[in-house]
Amino acid sequence: MFSLAQHKYLPTLHHHQPCTNRPSLHAVRVSCSTRPSDPTPNVKHLIIKPRLSPPLPVAATTTATTRPTDNDPSLISDWSHRAWTTAGCTIILYTLAQSMNGANNLQTQVALVFAAFAGYITADLITGIYHWGLDNYGDESTPVFGPAIDNFQEHHKWPWVITKRQFARNLHALARSVTLIALPVDLIFHDPVLLGFMGWCLGCVMMSRQFHSWAHYPKSRLPKVVVALQDAGVLVGRSMHAEHHRPPYVTNYCIVSGVWNPVLDRFKFFEAMEKILYRMFGVRPRCWDDPAANGWLEENDEQEASHIKA
């Protein structure tokens, strides 16, 4: 699912040393000039010339290395973002309508309620696993997931940015995935319970980016209904998600309701997955490294608050 190559374990290296793009002392050329008849080296002719290698190239899409401004183009929606978001919302509403349309007896209607609840609960787990994977493996060059990985890395450096991103810009990538998954299922299957489960599950997964964004807003800037849903645990809460952005950055990955977070964290589910992947493929998750090396040390609270208030 993820491209894991760049964290290959190299046993002779110090893994907590951050990689940098600074010029490195690549080679040192030393030349000594001595007269054959004079056993004492002429230190005046000892020349040490450092040879600097050029800086490593920085990829063009390094949003995670450049602090976005408030009006940064990366925060603004364009027509393609709006089109995919519209398509995602439409297909979800169509799926749910088809589901309800097919529930023409009490037994199916009851099953539909359970299917909707199961879809909502499952979505929280999916977002947790997805978020954990993007936080820890691959990079911006990873096929398919590269932009999302870059986006999550940027989020860990500047969490406030998500509150500045326009709705369609925030949702379009998940909306596109949801559309491409739901459309063929809608065409092939007509079971109302299955469609109900899928509609709620994919709908919550798609909206998880918005729920995540709301978890970074100050309470005073959120609609009252959102605050009520957060406080009731229906949507992921602000304080629960804040724990994800504090050291050691390895908890509270789920971002729909967060109902799975205490369970997964208590049983160290992600820690176990990281060890299994390491044993199988020799790859280290990013969270095993110094957070400073990943640039995950959050801006201080005052800076964060000033950005959110602005």
Least separation in angstroms between residue 179's CB and Zn ion is 25
For Zn ion, the closer CB: 119 or 128: 128
Instruction: Identify the DSSP state of 52.
Output: E
- The verdict on 135 binding Zn ion (CB under 5 A) reads yes
DSSP state letters, 41-95: --GGG-EEEEEEPPPPPPPTT-GGGSPPPTT-GGGS--HHHHHHHHHHHHHHHHH
In terms of CB distance, is 119 or 258 closer to Zn ion? 258
To the nearest whole angstrom, how small is the minimum distance from the Cβ of residue 123 to Zn ion? 17
Contact flags string 164-203 toward Zn ion, x per CB under 5 A: ----------------------------------------
Within 20-92, strands assigned E span 25-31, 47-52
Residue type, 185: V
One character per residue 79-118, x = contact with Zn ion (rule: CB under 5 A): ----------------------------------------
**Which residues are paired to 156 by β-bridges?**
none
Q: Which residue is it, tokens 């095993």?
A: 288
CB of 212 to Zn ion, least distance (A): 6
Indicate the residue among 124 and 135 with the shorter CB distance to Zn ion. Answer: 135
265 lies in the binding site for Zn ion (CB under 5 A): no
Q: Would you tell me how many other CB atoms lie within 10 Å of the CB of residue 185?
A: 15
- Touching Zn ion, residues 239-258 (CB under 5 A): none
* Cα end-to-end distance, the chain, whole Å: 38
Measured between alpha carbons, how far is 102 from 194 in angstroms, rounded to an integer? 11
Place of tokens 């450096």: 157
CB of 286 to Zn ion, least distance (A): 10
Name the residue nearer to Zn ion (CB basis): 135 or 154.
Answer: 135
Residues 270 and 264: beta-carbon distance below 8 Å: yes
Residues present in the chain in total: 310
Tally of CB atoms within 10 A around 61? 13
- Report, in Å, the least distance between residue 255 CB and Zn ion: 7
Confirm or reject binding of residue 140 to Zn ion (CB under 5 A): no
CB of 198 to Zn ion, least distance (A): 26
Interacting residues toward Zn ion by CB under 5 A: 135
